Amino acid sequence: MISVRLRVNGSEHRRDIEPRLLLVHFLREVCGLTGTHVGCETGICGACTVLVDGSAVKACTLLAAQADGAEITTIEGLATNGHLHPMQDGFWERHGLQCGFCTPGMIMSGVQLLARNAKPTRAEIADAIRGNLCRCTGYTHIIDAIEYAAGRPATGGAR
């Protein structure tokens, strides 16, 4: 067993864990944050994408031990004071999701993109979500959603 301390969405979690515990399982089981999903085991689908020290990573391909001491943001940490993050708003406005399973990871990749490139082209958006697979939407509405988020500040989720 090893001791780790991770700060997730602003809250600290200290645990003794088996070193083989994957970060995604730490988040889901130890922190109880089930918004981050598992869709494959070869690190391709991106449903598990979270931000670790501001960088989008696939939480299924990290040991929790590697994230010891890091600041982690999951999908549950995006909305503030009940207001949707602009990226979440964009996905809602533009029907960027259907079954919703890929969505938390997709949103986190969208957040990463806009932090690095505030006004991406559609081609840049498509490239930025290369590591996020969706089988429902066909992606067009997802790109619309991220464009929307790039253009508009949060509006509080009005219909």
For residues 67-96, which are near another protein according to CB under 8 A? 74-76, 78-79, 84, 88, 91-93, 95
Q: Bridge partners of 72?
A: 8, 52
Which listed residue (6, 8, 31, 63) binds another protein by CB under 8 A? 63
Cα 143 to Cα 76: distance, rounded to the nearest angstrom: 22
Cα 21 to Cα 121: distance, rounded to the nearest angstrom: 38
CB of 45 to another protein, least distance (A): 6
Nearest to 94 by CA among 146, 155, 158: 146
8 makes contact with another protein (CB under 8 A): no
Instruction: List the interface residues with another protein, window 138-157 (CB under 8 A).
Output: 138-143, 157
Which listed residue (107, 111, 149, 150) binds another protein by CB under 8 A? 107
Under rule CB under 8 A, how many of the chain's residues touch another protein? 80
Dig out the tokens for 100 from the structure: 């919703």
Instruction: Considering the complex, state which of residue 5 and residue 130 has its C-beta at the smaller distance from another protein.
Output: 130
What character string, x for contact with another protein (CB under 8 A) and - otherwise, covers 24-43? Answer: ----x---xxxxxxxxxxxx
Most distant CA atoms of the chain, gap in Å: 49
Dig out the tokens for 6 from the structure: 């991770």
